[in-house]
């Protein structure tokens, strides 16, 4: 003989207790799991792919940026010699030697510039495409922007910086190194324009601003190398961590 509870009683048809509504942050990127704020899951972007190492592209980018940075150091030497000649010994052997040093620097710089213009965007494309596979969410840019923004006038003054901020490991907080690199890059560009314009009216003024441009260009090159190496190393370590999870 079996017993069935009378209809309409609370125990006649057990129902699961209603779950508490999920609380999201105002920007929709975090939700409260009852104990802490955690990232809200989001669908992977259409351009996402499985992780692919960016090490070889990073190596090429670092090599060409280093070549361009060395060339800026050669420019510094040649323009310093030209400045000395302009002030103290116009038409002397120092002036001729300075011109030859600058010419050598231009040849080296073209190699670094052309190689860097290809390898750095290629590295940024690969590194950015890896982000979804490494757990990044809420990305504003794309691999196409990461590579192509360098070649778009006006956009190349700010988009690569914002792309690099998204590439920077989020756990490291504010990307101070990225900000310093981009500030040096923009300053070098402005000083180069100023040097070209001043050289039309005053040789000394063109040399002085050119020397300042060389110093800032060396700083920008060194900082970019550090940024590339840091991001590439982090992505490799993050992928290894996820594989072992």
For 9-63, the pLDDT digits (tens) are 444 444 444 444 556 665 555 667 677 777 666 677 889 889 999 999 999 999 9
Per the domain annotation, does 131 fall within a domain?
yes
Q: Is residue 201 helix, strand or coil?
A: coil
The total number of structural domains that make up the chain? 1
Query: Do residues 192 and 214 lie in contact, with contact meaning Cβ atoms separated by under 8 Å?
Result: no
- Mean pLDDT across the stretch 64-77? 97
Over 50: is that where the pLDDT of 130 sits? yes
Segments forming the whole domain that contains residue 109:
55-244
Q: Model pTM?
A: 0.81
User: What are the angstrom distances between the C-alpha of 92 and each of 77, 107, 111, 169?
Assistant: 16, 24, 30, 53
Q: Is 45 inside a domain boundary? A: no
**pLDDT reported for residue 48:** 87
pLDDT at 180 (0 to 100): 96
Question: Residue 243: is it exposed, middle or buried by C-beta count within 10 angstroms (0-12/13-18/19+)?
Answer: exposed
Sheet arrangement for strand 30-32:
23-24, 30-32, 37-39
């Amino acid at each position: 003989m079996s017993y069935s509870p009378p209809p309409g009683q609370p125990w006649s048809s057990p129902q699961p207790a209603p779950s508490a509504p999920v609380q999201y942050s105002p920007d929709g990127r975090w939700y409260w799991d009852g104990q802490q704020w955690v990232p809200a899951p989001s669908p992977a972007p259409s351009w996402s792919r499985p992780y692919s190492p960016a090490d070889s592209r990073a190596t090429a980018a670092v090599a060409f940026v280093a070549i361009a940075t060395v060339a800026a150091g050669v420019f510094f030497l040649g323009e310093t010699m030209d400045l000395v000649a302009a002030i103290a010994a116009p038409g002397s052997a120092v002036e001729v030697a300075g011109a030859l040093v600058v010419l050598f620097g231009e040849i080296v710089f073209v190699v670094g510039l052309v190689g860097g213009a290809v390898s750095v965007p290629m590295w940024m494309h690969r590194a950015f495409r890896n982000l979804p596979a490494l757990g990044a969410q809420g990305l504003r840019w794309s691999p196409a922007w990461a590579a192509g923004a360098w070649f778009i006038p006006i956009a190349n003054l700010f988009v690569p910086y914002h792309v690099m901020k998204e590439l920077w490991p989020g756990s490291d907080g504010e990307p101070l190194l990225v900000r310093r690199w981009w500030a040096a890059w923009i300053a070098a560009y402005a000083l180069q324009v100023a040097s070209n314009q001043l050289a039309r009216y005053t040789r000394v003024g063109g040399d002085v601003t050119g020397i300042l441009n060389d110093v800032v260009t060396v700083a920008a090159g060194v900082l970019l190398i550090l940024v590339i190496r840091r991001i590439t190393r982090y992505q490799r370590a993050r992928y290894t961590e996820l594989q072992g999870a």
